[in-house]
Amino acid sequence: MGKTNDLTGRVFTRLTVVKLAGYRAAHAVWNCRCECGREVEVRGTHLVSGRVRSCGCLRADSAIRSAAARSIPKRTRRKRARAAAAARWKKERAAH
């Protein structure tokens, strides 16, 4: 095994490294605490490369935010439909 960089105390997006958990398959595994409170064990190379950024809560939060952004009120959908119909009507009228 090569020299292991001490990552204790470093923050990687939502994960804060607490301590070295050990080695698995010749890779350093670190015990980390997420901002949401969960504790996870993560490979050091995955932390440094950015492959792992949270315990999984980041993906859930992103899904919630994007779903909220996609939900458009019925009134707005009607306005957009009317505007599109008016634009088509104008286009057809100009062609004649």
What confidence tens digit (pLDDT) does each residue in 56-94 have? Answer: 888 887 877 776 666 767 777 788 888 888 888 887 888
Is 41 within a domain?
yes
The pLDDT of residue 75: 76
The pLDDT of residue 20: 96
Is 1 within a domain?
no
Is 4 within a domain?
no
SS3 for 5-39, per residue?
CCCCCCEECCEEEEEEEEEECCEEEEEEEECCCCE
Is 20 within a domain?
yes
Residue 17 has pLDDT above 70, yes or no: yes
The pLDDT of residue 27: 94
Range of the domain at 33: 11-95
Which residue, among 49, 50, 54, has the nearest Cα to 34 in the 3D structure? 54
Q: How far is residue 45 CA from its own chain's centroid?
A: 19
Is 6 within a domain?
no
- What's the CA gap between 51 and 81, in Å, rounded? 42
Is 64 within a domain?
yes
Is 43 within a domain?
yes
Is 37 within a domain?
yes
Stated pTM of the model: 0.64
Total structural domains within the chain: 1
The pLDDT of residue 68: 67
pLDDT 10s digits, 20-61: 999 999 999 999 999 999 999 999 999 999 999 999 888 887
3-class secondary structure, 72: coil
- What's the CA gap between 53 and 13, in Å, rounded? 5
